[in-house]
Structure 1
């Protein structure tokens, strides 16, 4: 048999044993001749080959071949006959040895074929390696078989699989290149064998390797390289726990088996790599499919968002469209309602950030935080879907900016109309009414003029200007939702709001102060005028009402009622005393104006009756004497006053204001000559 691993006498140590071939000269195989030239046994009745052919035929053991020679000698046969039998015996033993060798080689080849067949059926390395070691142990009939694989990264070979091993330390050995028998095989790519490893000085002994070998009790060791082309990938070993001489045929057999094992290992590795590559391809295909689906969803949402923008959709329409595409719930929230930390992180990074099971995308414009889009209950978000959410946030910011621009334009128009009402008293009433109608405002309805101002001091001029802008923006939004008007004026804001039935100017002032304060997160004080009507026909009343509202605002400030709202009617003559610009005529008109107007229209004398009534201590009997009229006349006049001023006109607070107004009215009247 040809040695498949290139062994030589320098590397393979085996015992020199004499064989039948060596004892017998190789010739023609003919029987020896006698002195007369005839073959031994001819004519003597000695048939030398017959008994040995019978022994060969029945496969007798080697010692049985001595029996024919011994019988011939015992029977005292001729010397030439005994010599012929001896020669025939040697030839028969040669034939027997040749037949045994062929049968052994046939068995080995059969075992190799079976091994190749078995290994071909295995598909992974963890199955192939144990099968190799088990078959190697079976082929050579050793106590232990094991296999090491080379580690290119660490530059050594390590124990991978063992069969028949009982020592844990041995099973965990690592052999450096050139160390021990296995390290030498791995380094030189040649087989090595030893009858007694511990006594063999050819190998580089180390404490770790020797300790492992001693724990396992190994004595005789045979190692052959596992080769893939010129590369050594490992070493296959067969070992006994007693001294043993491994024959050349056994070494060659293990070498042939190692070649099959290396091919099987390579096939298993290739199959594993192929499976891994297929798995990677499948994973890549899944990623591609997912990305393709995500891209299709992104394209779909892009088309939907574009359509929404073109048809004038709102923020909530964007959230609904993204919810449908991402199969989740997307909501738009104000900046104050979203979690502060994730919202700030999203604004700083420019990307959507995860918050628990939600995703938050900041809606910003020029560094200003406008709100957030929140995707609820969707912890696993594909990067493309994340980008879709971020794009939706960008579209939302554009919509908010567009809405703000439109609102600001409308606010400016509303402010210009209110400025015209306050400043240009000679405006055409019809034109004013048309302009108000386009803004959904009704100047013919009853309104209240409100003056609003921030009370908290600002750190500098820039902060003060920013605070005023916020107040104006909040007031403009309130006016737009209430079908009113708003404008920035005199360091604050003025509003013209319709007065709903059942609501007083005081109620409206307080609600407005609360609403604006909540919107700007600061205290806002609001003063309100008395209700005014028919502003289109009498635009000058708007200016007078604004003056009243400012006086009321000043009175609130002087009284320390910051962040509150009140109307002129709440202060009476105190408002006149507290206000910086005292409007005497306005106070008189608000208090007794309806009575003076009645006297002017009807030619009555109700004002004089009121003066006499208070002068006489509010006694009708004494009043009739003062006026020289009947007491019933006094009663009728006072009843008329009650209908004009209200049922509570004789309460202490009202009588004080009425008496003051009467005195101011008398003082302001031109002297009579």
Structure 2
């Protein structure tokens, strides 16, 4: 078509108006104008669009820099990077992988727009897939159709994750700071899309900004961690110093207690006061030696048993079960007791050392006390041996006994004890002293224990002491008395020794009794057997009945035993009907008790009957 100069001028002016109004390249290309003018206008419009996109990209990068500058958490920074990348390039999703210097691969760290769990956990070896190629070459790569692009090394795990996410087009660029490879930033589409160089460059600029921000954020996080670690170290040093000061104060207090002559009760009280809560010291037999604070009444429960087991294996170190602590008290590998601490919360290391130091000081005090007690007991043992052997004058022995708090001129009983283990006599002497109480004199002689105890009932005393000692180990206790004066002690001791042997021979090991309670055996072992009393004690119910009623049940009993315990033969010897004998035997049973015909009791009754006849002949 031929145009006039006026028409051509109008068309050029129209192109200028389109350019001035910001028309798109397509609108300029569709304008009716000379080809030379239209081509020039298209170049101008294209250049304008490039500058506008570049300006928009720079503005977006500036906004991104502002956003990243406000983040201090590395995880939040990564989330902001992928979110901005997706927004700037207008893609379906964006994601970022970080380099693992140990595994020598990259792993998925942050995503925006992803829906696949497999994709979000994928790892890319160097050289595998588009991301692996970017990581290995540290150069950007992009593709409009990943699966049909032969430039990349396709692997089943990577292609499976990409396929599950539905990704088609990918653009990846490395994150590098001062030649340090950090990771790879990606923008991807689920439909085919060619990436322009401007878009690749924009993603590269964002990656550079992101890498710098990420490194700076990590450095800031490292600095904050270093500050926190320094604060923790400072607090640790402060606590350690406070612990040292506290331990020094505890040491000074324990030392003052020992040097001042204080006992284990003072140490127990000091531990409870220093740590709060309660403290209990139990001896080697689990008996409470001293206690401070609201301690449990019993220390024989499962918790304390478990603590004692643990403490025995810990070698003097503190152990605990729940909120209760314990340390074993030992000296020269000998168990002296256990120190328990409770209601003190969680003990610090310095508090634990304080408890262990208290255990060591307690062991020293107990050892001193034991040595002193052993020395005193050795003197008591010599005195007991002198009293039993009758060595020295009477006045001298009375004076020595009174010096130990025992008066031999008042009535007392002699107890002779035989334990299961003679090697444990030292501990047994202490237990006997506790069981017999004040005013008694206890010592060892010839492998057994002798106790001189104020009182008039040797049988009751023997039974009581045996019962108390049985809580630890069986001890056979023989009682003799009452006696008065030191000159009666040797004979009483001999009778007690015989009675103790008789108790063991008769199967009464671990029990207590006086010779008078052993039946006919008591007549044998007793130093002055009272036969009449023996007969009276066994036959008294029948004798009293005969005396009141004028009967002869004693004669019937004699005839019954003489007839071999046969009522019929007894009736024949008595010249009465067998029913009469049966009735009399029923009366005898009611008087003597239902067990009178058992072998042991029957033997005692027959012996009493024979002795009665012998006494009647005197």
TM-score bracket, normalised by the shorter chain, equals 0.7 to 0.9
Write the mapping of 1:524-543 to structure 2, written as runs, cut at 5 A.
Answer: 524-533=476-485, 535=486, 540-543=487-490
2:309 equivalent to 1:344? yes
2:94 equivalent to 1:142? no
Shift of the 68–516 alpha-carbon distance from structure 1 to 2, 3 Å rule, reads closer
Counterpart position of 1:403: 369
Cα offset for 1:330? 1.9
Shift of the 202–524 alpha-carbon distance from structure 1 to 2, 3 Å rule, reads same
SS in 1 for 2:329: strand
CA-to-aligned-CA distance 1:97-148 (integer Å, 9 cap, x gap): 4444333332222111111111111121332222211211222222332222
Q: Which range moves more in the overlay, 504-513 or 231-240?
A: 504-513
SS in 1 for 2:220: helix
Counterpart position of 1:233: 182
User: Which 5+ residue runs of structure 2 have no aligned equivalent?
Assistant: 287-299, 535-607
SS in 2 for 1:529: strand
Aligned equivalents of 1:217 and 1:262: distance in 2? 27
Shift of the 555–262 alpha-carbon distance from structure 1 to 2, 3 Å rule, reads closer
Query: Which has the higher Rg, Structure 1 or Structure 2?
Result: 1
SS in 2 for 1:254: helix
Aligned equivalents of 2:519 and 2:313: distance in 1? 55
Shift of the 433–221 alpha-carbon distance from structure 1 to 2, 3 Å rule, reads same
Shift of the 573–69 alpha-carbon distance from structure 1 to 2, 3 Å rule, reads closer
Pick from 491, 496, 515 the counterpart of residue 447 of structure 2.
Answer: 491
CA-to-aligned-CA distance 1:491-547 (integer Å, 9 cap, x gap): 323222223xxx43433333334344445x1231313133204x4xxxx34334434
SS in 1 for 2:482: coil
Q: Is the 8 A contact 1:147 1:234 kept in 2?
A: yes
Shift of the 317–115 alpha-carbon distance from structure 1 to 2, 3 Å rule, reads same
Pick from 349, 356, 373 the counterpart of residue 390 of structure 1.
Answer: 356
SS in 2 for 1:271: helix
Counterpart position of 1:372: 338
Counterpart position of 1:116: 65
* Length, aligned pairs only: 518
Shift of the 544–182 alpha-carbon distance from structure 1 to 2, 3 Å rule, reads closer
Counterpart position of 1:440: 405
2:96 equivalent to 1:130? no
Aligned equivalents of 1:525 and 1:168: distance in 2? 83
Cα offset for 1:468? 4.2
Counterpart position of 1:578: 524
Aligned equivalents of 2:137 and 2:182: distance in 1? 12
Q: CA RMSD in A?
A: 4.0
Aligned equivalents of 1:574 and 1:175: distance in 2? 99
Instruction: Tell me which of the two structures has the higher relative contact order, counting C-alpha pairs closer than 8 angstroms and 6 or more residues apart.
Output: 1
Cα offset for 1:46? 7.9
SS in 2 for 1:530: strand
Q: Is the 8 A contact 2:11 2:32 kept in 1?
A: no
Cα offset for 1:203? 1.3
Write the mapping of 1:267-666 to structure 2, written as runs, cut at 5 A.
Answer: 267-337=216-286, 338=300, 339-350=304-315, 351-377=317-343, 380-423=346-389, 426-427=392-393, 429=395, 432=397, 434-454=399-419, 464-475=421-432, 481-499=437-455, 503-519=456-472, 521-533=473-485, 535=486, 540-550=487-497, 552-553=499-500, 556=503, 561-567=508-514, 578-579=524-525
Shift of the 54–380 alpha-carbon distance from structure 1 to 2, 3 Å rule, reads same
Shift of the 164–419 alpha-carbon distance from structure 1 to 2, 3 Å rule, reads closer
Q: Is the 8 A contact 2:329 2:336 kept in 1?
A: yes
Pick from 139, 154, 179 the counterpart of residue 128 of structure 2.
Answer: 179
Aligned equivalents of 1:97 and 1:558: distance in 2? 125
Aligned equivalents of 2:135 and 2:500: distance in 1? 100
TM-score normalized with structure 2 length: 0.72
Cα offset for 1:149? 1.9
SS in 1 for 2:368: helix
Q: Is the 8 A contact 1:449 1:528 kept in 2?
A: yes
SS in 1 for 2:84: helix
Shift of the 419–444 alpha-carbon distance from structure 1 to 2, 3 Å rule, reads same
Q: Is the 8 A contact 2:106 2:123 kept in 1?
A: yes
Aligned equivalents of 1:311 and 1:279: distance in 2? 47
Aligned equivalents of 1:522 and 1:498: distance in 2? 23
Write the mapping of 1:14-25 to structure 2, written as runs, cut at 5 A.
Answer: none
Aligned equivalents of 1:470 and 1:47: distance in 2? 130
CA-to-aligned-CA distance 1:398-432 (integer Å, 9 cap, x gap): 22222222222211222223333444654372x55
Shift of the 496–404 alpha-carbon distance from structure 1 to 2, 3 Å rule, reads same
Q: Is the 8 A contact 1:158 1:173 kept in 2?
A: yes
Write the mapping of 1:190-205 to structure 2, written as runs, cut at 5 A.
Answer: 190-205=139-154
Aligned equivalents of 2:92 and 2:505: distance in 1? 110
Q: Which range moves more in the overlay, 157-166 or 58-67?
A: 58-67
Shift of the 186–494 alpha-carbon distance from structure 1 to 2, 3 Å rule, reads same
